Structure 1
């Protein structure tokens, strides 16, 4: 359960923004989307390697 403490006179929009940020950090939506379709472990590993190679290429291009 996510609790967002409100200060006296704090705007409701600001509190809602805090709630959305905390909710996104929990990763519930990401996990829900991942569970909608099964991905084989070999494909998961391949995607992780591709992401790592992409990040590495970006870092090398930056230097």
Structure 2
């Protein structure tokens, strides 16, 4: 559980901004998204290979 101490006279918008920033840094949202749906290992590996091919293609074009 995230706890955000609010100082005396602090604007609620500023406290919400600190909460959102802290929430993003913990990686909770990313963890929930990965647990939401199961991906087969072959699908994950295929995506990694496609990404590597894309990056390699960009580097090859840059060298010409």
TM-score for the superposition, normalised by structure 2: 0.61
- Which has more radius of gyration? 2
TM-score for the superposition, normalised by structure 1: 0.62
- The Cα shift of 1:55 comes to 5.4
Structure 1: where are the runs of 5+ without partners?
none
- The Cα shift of 1:24 comes to 1.6
Structure 2: where are the runs of 5+ without partners?
none
- The Cα shift of 1:10 comes to 1.7
- The Cα shift of 1:59 comes to 7.3
Say if 1:40 and 1:58 are closer, same or farther in 2 by CA, change over 3 A.
same
Say if 1:34 and 1:14 are closer, same or farther in 2 by CA, change over 3 A.
same
CA distance in 2, matches of 1:31, 1:54: 26
- Aligned pair count reads 63
- The Cα shift of 1:54 comes to 4.5
Give the superposed CA RMSD. 2.9
- The Cα shift of 1:49 comes to 3.7
